[in-house]
Amino acid sequence: MLSSLSDLPLRKQHGPKIAVLTAYDYPTGRMLDEAGIDLILVGDSLGMVVHGLPDTTGVTMDMMLIHTASVCRGVKRAPVIADLPFQSYRTPEEAVMNSKRLMECGASAVKLEGGVGMLPQVRAIIDSGIPFVGHIGMLPQSVKEEGGYKKKGKTSEQIDRLIADAQALDQAGAVAMVLESIVPDVATQITAMVKASTIGIGAGMGTDGQVLVTPDILGSFPWFRPPFAKARADVAGETLRAVREYLAEVRA
Protein backbone atom coordinates (compact mmCIF):
# COMPACT_ATOMS: atom_id res chain seq x y z
CA MET A 1 0.00 0.00 0.00
CA LEU A 2 1.38 3.41 -0.92
CA SER A 3 1.22 6.10 1.70
CA SER A 4 3.49 8.63 0.05
CA LEU A 5 4.42 9.60 -3.50
CA SER A 6 8.05 9.17 -2.48
CA ASP A 7 7.45 5.38 -2.39
CA LEU A 8 6.77 5.33 -6.15
CA PRO A 9 10.37 4.74 -7.38
CA LEU A 10 10.72 1.71 -5.09
CA ARG A 11 7.46 0.27 -6.41
CA LYS A 12 8.62 0.83 -9.99
CA GLN A 13 11.82 -1.09 -9.24
CA HIS A 14 10.54 -3.91 -7.05
CA GLY A 15 6.75 -4.04 -7.50
CA PRO A 16 4.02 -4.87 -6.81
CA LYS A 17 2.27 -2.96 -9.57
CA ILE A 18 0.56 0.28 -8.60
CA ALA A 19 -3.27 0.16 -8.42
CA VAL A 20 -5.06 3.45 -9.02
CA LEU A 21 -8.80 4.22 -9.11
CA THR A 22 -10.80 7.40 -9.49
CA ALA A 23 -12.97 8.93 -6.76
CA TYR A 24 -15.21 11.97 -6.93
CA ASP A 25 -16.81 12.09 -3.46
CA TYR A 26 -16.24 11.45 0.24
CA PRO A 27 -17.69 7.90 0.55
CA THR A 28 -15.84 6.58 -2.50
CA GLY A 29 -12.55 8.19 -1.43
CA ARG A 30 -12.94 6.74 2.05
CA MET A 31 -13.81 3.25 0.79
CA LEU A 32 -10.96 3.13 -1.74
CA ASP A 33 -8.56 4.22 1.01
CA GLU A 34 -9.90 1.64 3.47
CA ALA A 35 -9.65 -1.05 0.76
CA GLY A 36 -5.93 -0.28 0.39
CA ILE A 37 -5.79 1.36 -3.04
CA ASP A 38 -2.34 2.82 -3.81
CA LEU A 39 -3.35 6.14 -5.36
CA ILE A 40 -6.67 7.94 -5.82
CA LEU A 41 -7.32 10.14 -8.85
CA VAL A 42 -9.95 12.87 -8.77
CA GLY A 43 -10.23 12.67 -12.54
CA ASP A 44 -12.03 15.10 -14.77
CA SER A 45 -13.89 11.99 -16.00
CA LEU A 46 -16.30 13.22 -13.31
CA GLY A 47 -17.69 15.45 -16.05
CA MET A 48 -19.26 12.39 -17.66
CA VAL A 49 -19.83 9.92 -14.83
CA VAL A 50 -21.02 12.40 -12.18
CA HIS A 51 -22.32 15.43 -14.09
CA GLY A 52 -23.65 13.74 -17.25
CA LEU A 53 -21.62 15.93 -19.63
CA PRO A 54 -20.72 14.58 -23.08
CA ASP A 55 -16.94 14.87 -22.49
CA THR A 56 -14.41 16.43 -20.10
CA THR A 57 -14.21 19.82 -21.84
CA GLY A 58 -17.11 21.18 -19.78
CA VAL A 59 -15.40 20.49 -16.44
CA THR A 60 -14.47 23.65 -14.50
CA MET A 61 -12.03 24.47 -11.70
CA ASP A 62 -14.99 25.01 -9.36
CA MET A 63 -16.16 21.45 -10.01
CA MET A 64 -12.65 20.04 -9.48
CA LEU A 65 -12.23 21.98 -6.21
CA ILE A 66 -15.51 20.72 -4.73
CA HIS A 67 -14.86 17.09 -5.69
CA THR A 68 -11.19 17.15 -4.63
CA ALA A 69 -12.10 18.56 -1.19
CA SER A 70 -14.88 15.96 -0.78
CA VAL A 71 -12.55 13.05 -1.64
CA CYS A 72 -9.71 14.35 0.54
CA ARG A 73 -12.04 14.58 3.56
CA GLY A 74 -12.53 10.82 3.33
CA VAL A 75 -8.93 9.76 2.68
CA LYS A 76 -6.43 9.25 5.49
CA ARG A 77 -3.54 7.47 3.73
CA ALA A 78 -3.53 7.18 -0.06
CA PRO A 79 -2.03 10.10 -1.98
CA VAL A 80 -4.75 11.93 -3.95
CA ILE A 81 -4.00 13.24 -7.45
CA ALA A 82 -6.29 15.99 -8.76
CA ASP A 83 -6.84 16.78 -12.44
CA LEU A 84 -6.37 20.28 -13.80
CA PRO A 85 -9.44 20.65 -16.04
CA PHE A 86 -9.66 21.91 -19.64
CA GLN A 87 -8.37 25.48 -20.06
CA SER A 88 -7.23 25.79 -16.45
CA TYR A 89 -3.53 25.74 -17.45
CA ARG A 90 -3.30 27.96 -20.53
CA THR A 91 -0.17 29.70 -19.16
CA PRO A 92 2.47 28.63 -16.60
CA GLU A 93 1.11 31.24 -14.15
CA GLU A 94 -2.46 29.95 -14.50
CA ALA A 95 -1.23 26.34 -14.13
CA VAL A 96 0.57 27.15 -10.86
CA MET A 97 -2.31 29.20 -9.45
CA ASN A 98 -4.88 26.46 -10.14
CA SER A 99 -2.53 23.71 -8.94
CA LYS A 100 -2.16 25.55 -5.64
CA ARG A 101 -5.96 25.75 -5.29
CA LEU A 102 -6.23 21.95 -5.76
CA MET A 103 -3.40 21.37 -3.25
CA GLU A 104 -5.22 23.58 -0.72
CA CYS A 105 -8.17 21.14 -1.01
CA GLY A 106 -5.85 18.36 0.22
CA ALA A 107 -4.44 16.91 -3.02
CA SER A 108 -0.92 15.42 -2.95
CA ALA A 109 -0.22 16.04 -6.66
CA VAL A 110 -1.82 17.49 -9.78
CA LYS A 111 -2.14 16.08 -13.29
CA LEU A 112 -2.52 17.77 -16.65
CA GLU A 113 -2.75 16.46 -20.21
CA GLY A 114 0.10 16.91 -22.70
CA GLY A 115 3.83 16.46 -23.22
CA VAL A 116 6.43 18.63 -24.92
CA GLY A 117 3.87 21.36 -25.69
CA MET A 118 3.03 21.68 -21.98
CA LEU A 119 6.61 21.79 -20.69
CA PRO A 120 6.52 25.47 -19.55
CA GLN A 121 3.42 24.72 -17.44
CA VAL A 122 4.86 21.43 -16.14
CA ARG A 123 8.17 23.05 -15.16
CA ALA A 124 6.39 25.94 -13.45
CA ILE A 125 4.24 23.54 -11.39
CA ILE A 126 7.25 21.43 -10.35
CA ASP A 127 9.38 24.54 -9.64
CA SER A 128 6.63 25.79 -7.31
CA GLY A 129 7.11 22.61 -5.24
CA ILE A 130 3.94 20.81 -6.33
CA PRO A 131 4.32 17.11 -7.22
CA PHE A 132 3.27 16.55 -10.82
CA VAL A 133 1.74 13.61 -12.72
CA GLY A 134 1.75 13.67 -16.54
CA HIS A 135 -0.85 12.31 -18.95
CA ILE A 136 0.07 11.38 -22.52
CA GLY A 137 -1.34 9.27 -25.33
CA MET A 138 -5.01 9.74 -26.01
CA LEU A 139 -5.94 13.05 -24.36
CA PRO A 140 -9.67 13.31 -23.54
CA GLN A 141 -9.50 17.13 -23.21
CA SER A 142 -8.47 17.26 -26.92
CA VAL A 143 -11.42 15.17 -28.12
CA LYS A 144 -12.94 18.03 -30.13
CA GLU A 145 -9.66 18.95 -31.89
CA GLU A 146 -8.93 15.28 -32.58
CA GLY A 147 -12.46 14.46 -33.77
CA GLY A 148 -12.87 11.50 -31.39
CA TYR A 149 -11.00 9.18 -29.01
CA LYS A 150 -8.15 7.60 -30.97
CA LYS A 151 -5.55 5.04 -29.88
CA LYS A 152 -1.98 6.37 -30.07
CA GLY A 153 1.27 4.70 -31.09
CA LYS A 154 0.09 3.14 -34.34
CA THR A 155 2.53 4.98 -36.65
CA SER A 156 6.26 5.65 -36.30
CA GLU A 157 5.54 9.39 -36.17
CA GLN A 158 3.13 8.87 -33.24
CA ILE A 159 5.61 6.56 -31.47
CA ASP A 160 8.40 9.16 -31.79
CA ARG A 161 6.09 11.85 -30.42
CA LEU A 162 4.98 9.68 -27.47
CA ILE A 163 8.58 8.87 -26.58
CA ALA A 164 9.57 12.55 -26.82
CA ASP A 165 6.60 13.52 -24.60
CA ALA A 166 7.39 10.83 -22.02
CA GLN A 167 11.08 11.77 -21.88
CA ALA A 168 10.29 15.48 -21.60
CA LEU A 169 7.91 14.92 -18.66
CA ASP A 170 10.39 12.54 -17.03
CA GLN A 171 13.30 14.97 -17.32
CA ALA A 172 11.12 17.78 -15.97
CA GLY A 173 10.58 15.69 -12.81
CA ALA A 174 7.11 14.13 -13.12
CA VAL A 175 6.59 11.58 -10.34
CA ALA A 176 4.31 9.49 -12.54
CA MET A 177 2.57 9.62 -15.89
CA VAL A 178 -0.71 8.22 -17.16
CA LEU A 179 -0.37 6.43 -20.51
CA GLU A 180 -3.87 6.42 -21.98
CA SER A 181 -4.96 4.29 -24.93
CA ILE A 182 -1.48 3.57 -26.28
CA VAL A 183 -0.43 0.49 -28.28
CA PRO A 184 0.77 -1.92 -25.51
CA ASP A 185 4.29 -2.48 -26.91
CA VAL A 186 4.88 1.27 -27.03
CA ALA A 187 3.61 1.72 -23.46
CA THR A 188 5.99 -1.06 -22.33
CA GLN A 189 8.88 0.60 -24.18
CA ILE A 190 8.14 3.98 -22.53
CA THR A 191 7.91 2.30 -19.11
CA ALA A 192 11.44 0.92 -19.53
CA MET A 193 12.79 4.33 -20.62
CA VAL A 194 11.52 6.62 -17.86
CA LYS A 195 12.25 6.99 -14.13
CA ALA A 196 8.66 8.07 -13.43
CA SER A 197 6.05 5.40 -12.71
CA THR A 198 3.81 4.75 -15.70
CA ILE A 199 0.14 4.20 -14.99
CA GLY A 200 -1.70 2.67 -17.92
CA ILE A 201 -5.31 2.78 -19.01
CA GLY A 202 -6.13 0.89 -22.20
CA ALA A 203 -2.37 0.55 -22.75
CA GLY A 204 -1.75 -3.13 -21.95
CA MET A 205 -0.18 -4.72 -18.88
CA GLY A 206 3.44 -3.62 -19.37
CA THR A 207 3.14 -0.38 -17.40
CA ASP A 208 4.15 0.10 -13.73
CA GLY A 209 0.52 0.38 -12.69
CA GLN A 210 -3.06 0.57 -13.89
CA VAL A 211 -5.81 3.15 -13.46
CA LEU A 212 -9.53 2.71 -14.05
CA VAL A 213 -12.62 4.85 -13.63
CA THR A 214 -14.29 3.45 -10.50
CA PRO A 215 -17.92 3.51 -11.80
CA ASP A 216 -16.70 1.25 -14.65
CA ILE A 217 -15.52 -1.48 -12.27
CA LEU A 218 -18.51 -1.07 -9.94
CA GLY A 219 -21.04 -1.20 -12.78
CA SER A 220 -22.60 1.99 -11.44
CA PHE A 221 -22.58 3.83 -14.80
CA PRO A 222 -24.31 1.23 -16.99
CA TRP A 223 -24.74 3.41 -20.07
CA PHE A 224 -21.09 3.22 -21.14
CA ARG A 225 -18.10 1.10 -20.13
CA PRO A 226 -14.85 0.84 -22.12
CA PRO A 227 -14.01 -2.72 -23.26
CA PHE A 228 -10.79 -2.92 -21.20
CA ALA A 229 -12.61 -2.22 -17.89
CA LYS A 230 -14.08 -5.35 -16.33
CA ALA A 231 -17.22 -4.68 -14.26
CA ARG A 232 -16.65 -6.40 -10.91
CA ALA A 233 -20.01 -5.49 -9.39
CA ASP A 234 -23.48 -4.53 -10.60
CA VAL A 235 -24.24 -1.45 -8.52
CA ALA A 236 -26.68 -0.14 -11.16
CA GLY A 237 -28.61 -3.42 -11.10
CA GLU A 238 -28.67 -3.48 -7.28
CA THR A 239 -29.81 0.16 -7.19
CA LEU A 240 -32.71 -0.55 -9.56
CA ARG A 241 -33.66 -3.62 -7.55
CA ALA A 242 -33.60 -1.78 -4.20
CA VAL A 243 -35.53 1.24 -5.51
CA ARG A 244 -38.17 -0.98 -7.14
CA GLU A 245 -38.51 -3.02 -3.93
CA TYR A 246 -38.97 0.21 -1.93
CA LEU A 247 -41.48 1.54 -4.48
CA ALA A 248 -43.54 -1.66 -4.26
CA GLU A 249 -43.47 -1.61 -0.47
CA VAL A 250 -44.57 2.05 -0.19
CA ARG A 251 -47.34 1.57 -2.75
CA ALA A 252 -48.64 -1.72 -1.36
Where do contacts with ligand KIV occur on this chain (CB under 6 A)?
22, 41, 43-45, 83, 178, 180, 201, 211, 213
| Active site members | 180
Closer CB to ligand KIV, 121 or 246, in the complex: 121
Closer CB to ligand KIV, 165 or 180, in the complex: 180
Q: Rounded distance, CA 50 to CA 43, Å?
A: 11
In the complex, the smallest distance separating the C-beta of residue 234 from ligand KIV, rounded to whole angstroms, is 21
Closer CB to ligand KIV, 45 or 188, in the complex: 45
Q: Rounded distance, CA 28 to CA 13, Å?
A: 29
In the complex, the smallest distance separating the C-beta of residue 65 from ligand KIV, rounded to whole angstroms, is 15
Q: What 3-state class would DSSP assign to 178?
A: strand
Which residue's Cβ has the minimum distance to ligand KIV? 43
In the complex, the smallest distance separating the C-beta of residue 252 from ligand KIV, rounded to whole angstroms, is 42
Q: Rounded distance, CA 24 to CA 49, Å?
A: 9
Closer CB to ligand KIV, 43 or 92, in the complex: 43
Total H helices, total E strands in the chain? 11, 8
**Judging by beta carbons within 10 Å of its beta carbon (0-12, 13-18, 19+), is residue 8 exposed, middle or buried?**
buried
In the complex, the smallest distance separating the C-beta of residue 246 from ligand KIV, rounded to whole angstroms, is 32
User: Quick one: which of 43, 196, 200 has its CA closest to 133?
Assistant: 196
